[in-house]
Amino acid sequence: MLKGATWPILSLIGVLWICPAFAAKRDQVPSNLDIPDSPAGYDQQFQALFSAWSKKDNQKLDRLLADFEIPSEWFVQTFGGDEGAEMSKLYSDQFDDFKLHISRNFGMATTFGIKYVQSKYGRVPSQLLIRTDLNPTVKLVPVPKPPPESIQPLPPIQRFSAQSRVRVRNEENNISSWMDSYLYIDGKFRFLGRGAYPFWDAARIRLADPCAKPGEQTGGKLIARVEPEYPQSARERNIEGYVTARLTVAPDGTVSNVEITGGPPELVDAATKAFQQWRYTPFMNCGKPVEMRSAEHIKFSQH
């Protein structure tokens, strides 16, 4: 997990700056045009996002973030009516987490960049950069769950890493890195899941370990998943669906808090009791166990 004091916005002036020509080039990409289905296309889409964030253009940032969201109608077209509607609800919660995750990582990269430059060079002009790379082969442990049965074929899952780097005197140094999964749909790269895992098998790592290699999982593996008891009253009334939650995982891997974020009210208590019994391998930050939050879900189905 990235750590560091929160710096006032004004501290960025004269310490870290974004090269105007570099940012202007990225801004030339109209959001209404299709992005090429290639690593260069993904970089084009992601760099525009970073440029809007850097300029604190919140209106443009929101619009560009929306381009990364899978359209709600896609779920129904791909998975059918009932299943598609449930998948869309589950995805929506994880996409909200993705938007926070992106802004948080950009902010933390800036903070770490400032600290790095000041400790190494003092107050000198520097440039914060974002580099992106395709990760075609990522060894995943555990292996992600397959998607639910679909009525339309899914596009290939593509995993991209982003590295925040600081350039000083023509020298670049890595500050932090993270990875997410995407599908290419309707001319844009659409967020699929945090890390290397799709939203239907939520990523266990909520913030990348800055000491880990891109795609490497250094902790946070779910090792004890307790299934809920299906409430009889809900079963008799044919109440089904997902219950989503943000779990706070203590440094020892136990669940210290459950924050329900969605689901049928009749199923919430049963899901909460199950979540509280889940156990993880400790989330790690450069070899030290740390507290972490993880988005999870439980599905209730009578079939």
Ramachandran angles phi, psi of 30, nearest 5°: -70, 135
Top-confidence range, 30-34, 135-139, 212-216: 135-139
Q: How confident is the model at residue 75 (pLDDT cuts 50, 70, 90)?
A: very high
Top-confidence range, 32-36, 141-145, 265-269: 265-269
Ramachandran angles phi, psi of 43, nearest 5°: -60, -40
Q: Among the listed ranges 71-85, 104-118, 176-190, which one has the minimum average pLDDT value?
A: 104-118
Task: Give a yes or no: residue 121 inside a domain.
Answer: yes
**Closest to 209 in 3D by CA, of 196, 218, 197:** 218
Share of the chain above pLDDT 70, in %: 82
Do residues 122 and 165 share a domain?
Answer: yes
Do residues 183 and 223 share a domain?
Answer: no
Beta-carbon contacts of 121 under 8 Å, excluding residues fewer than 6 positions away, are: 168, 169
Higher pLDDT, 122 or 39: 39
Q: What is the pLDDT of residue 163?
A: 86
Number of domains in the chain: 2
- Asked whether the beta carbons of 191 and 70 are under 8 A apart, the reply is yes
The answer to whether residue 28 scores a pLDDT higher than 60 is no
- Expressed as residue numbers, the domain containing 87 is 1-203
The answer to whether residue 9 scores a pLDDT higher than 90 is no
Do residues 120 and 264 share a domain?
Answer: no
Higher pLDDT, 220 or 300: 300
Do residues 43 and 149 share a domain?
Answer: yes
d(CA 280, CA 204): 9
Q: How confident is the model at residue 32 (pLDDT cuts 50, 70, 90)?
A: low
Do residues 153 and 242 share a domain?
Answer: no
Q: How confident is the model at residue 184 (pLDDT cuts 50, 70, 90)?
A: very high
Do residues 143 and 278 share a domain?
Answer: no
Task: Give a yes or no: residue 212 inside a domain.
Answer: no
Higher pLDDT, 61 or 2: 61
Do residues 181 and 293 share a domain?
Answer: no
Do residues 112 and 174 share a domain?
Answer: yes
- Which 8-state DSSP code applies to residue 146? P
Q: How confident is the model at residue 22 (pLDDT cuts 50, 70, 90)?
A: very low
Top-confidence range, 114-118, 215-219, 253-257, 287-291: 253-257
Instruction: Please give the single-letter amino acid code of residue 6.
Output: T
**Closest to 19 in 3D by CA, of 66, 55, 45:** 55
Q: Which of 203, 233, 252 is the last residue of a domain?
A: 203
Q: What is the pLDDT of residue 286?
A: 77
pLDDT tens figures, 120-161: 788 888 888 999 999 876 666 567 778 888 898 999 999 998
The answer to whether residue 244 scores a pLDDT higher than 90 is no
Do residues 7 and 49 share a domain?
Answer: yes
Do residues 175 and 223 share a domain?
Answer: no
- Assigned token pair, 154: 């899914």
Q: How confident is the model at residue 73 (pLDDT cuts 50, 70, 90)?
A: very high
- For residues 178-205, give the mean pLDDT: 85
Q: What is the mean pLDDT of the chain?
A: 81
Q: How confident is the model at residue 211 (pLDDT cuts 50, 70, 90)?
A: low
